[in-house]
Amino acid sequence: MKQEGHIVKSYDEEIRDIKNNIVDMGSLVENQLKDSLQCLKDKDTEFAEKIIENDNVIDKAYNTLDQSLVEILGKRQPMAADLRTIFSAIKINKDLERIGDHATNIAKRVAVAEIVLPEKPSRDIINMGAQVNIMISEVIKAFLEFSDQAAKKVWLMDRQIDEEYLGILRQLLTYMMEEPKRITACTSLLYMVKDLERIGDYVQNIAEDIYYAVSGEPLFDGNPDPTWEAILPKKK
């Protein structure tokens, strides 16, 4: 649905600011993840400390945006597409903040890792992280373009992330079984891969929110794919 400007111009400006702030928030968490992966690659504990500190910047941006969203709700009492946009922005902001936390977690584990992390799974995690970062960047693009189809495309990208997650999980289990001395190191990596998997899920949430904001319909009614299980249930 093509949108004209509001009669009240300042309302347009406020919505534009909200959108810009979401994009800024997206860039912040994208960088946070990029830095965390770099610091994992370099095993740079000093850099890790800086990244951990940087999480405050994300939290602050989250709070500021959250406050302006509450204000716009109170002041404008948005309707229809505006209502859906603001409502989605509230959720997207929250999910981005959580993504920031998960990205920071990776740096936290690098900061305390006094042990040598096995090369192969570390590399795989860095590659998986790069893919997750593409998802973040794409979902922010979908928000900026206000495109339900672009959002759906990003949503589907998570399937690949879940596959990677399972692959690395198996790899780490094998490492641990082969050499129990590696358990501590592998556990650190296990947490990291889980962080990335969770980020993928949050990006999916964001994609669903964008889809709803644009179309007014849920992306999926009920379980999108009941046959798919990233985490296989234990056999009874």
Partner 1 sequence: MSNSKILANGVDVYYGSKQALFGISMDIKEKEVTALIGPSGCGKSTFLRCINRMNDLIEICKVSGSIKVDNEEIISEKTDVVSLRSKIGMVFQKPNPFPKSIFDNVAYGPTIHGLVDSKNDLEEIVHSSLKKAGLFDEVKDRLNEPGTSLSGGQQQRLCIARAIAVNPEIILMDEPCSALDPIATAIIEELIDDLRLNYTIIIVTHSMQQAARVSQKTCFFHLGELIETGETNKIFTNPDNTKTQDYITGRFG
Residues that bind partner 1 (CB under 8 A): 1-8, 11, 76-84, 216-217
Give the nearest distance from C-beta 1 to partner 1 in angstroms.
Answer: 5
Sequence-distant (≥ 6) Cβ neighbours of residue 68 within 8 angstroms: 14, 17, 18, 21
Closest approach of partner 1 to the CB of residue 96, in Å: 24
- Between residues 81 and 183, which has the closer beta carbon with respect to partner 1? 81
Provide, rounded to whole angstroms, the least separation between the CB of residue 92 and partner 1.
18
Nearest approach, Cβ of residue 15 and partner 1 (Å): 10
Q: What angle do CA 125, 200, 203 make, to 5 degrees?
A: 145
- Closer of 77 and 227 to partner 1 (Cβ): 77
User: CB-wise, 7 or 232, nearer to partner 1?
Assistant: 7
Q: How far is the CB of 22 from partner 1 (least distance, A)?
A: 19
Nearest in space to 198 (alpha carbons), one of 133, 102, 55:
102
Find the Cα–Cα–Cα–Cα dihedral 192, 193, 198, 203, rounded to 10°: 110
Residue 221 CB burial class (10 angstroms; 0-12, 13-18, ≥19):
exposed
**Cβ-based nearer residue to partner 1, 77 or 223:** 77
Question: Shortest CA distance to 138 belongs to which of 115, 125, 114, 154?
Answer: 154
Residue that has been written with the tokens 């090369």 in this structure = 119
Residue 74 vs 233, nearer CB to partner 1: 74
- Terminal-residue alpha carbon distance, the chain: 50
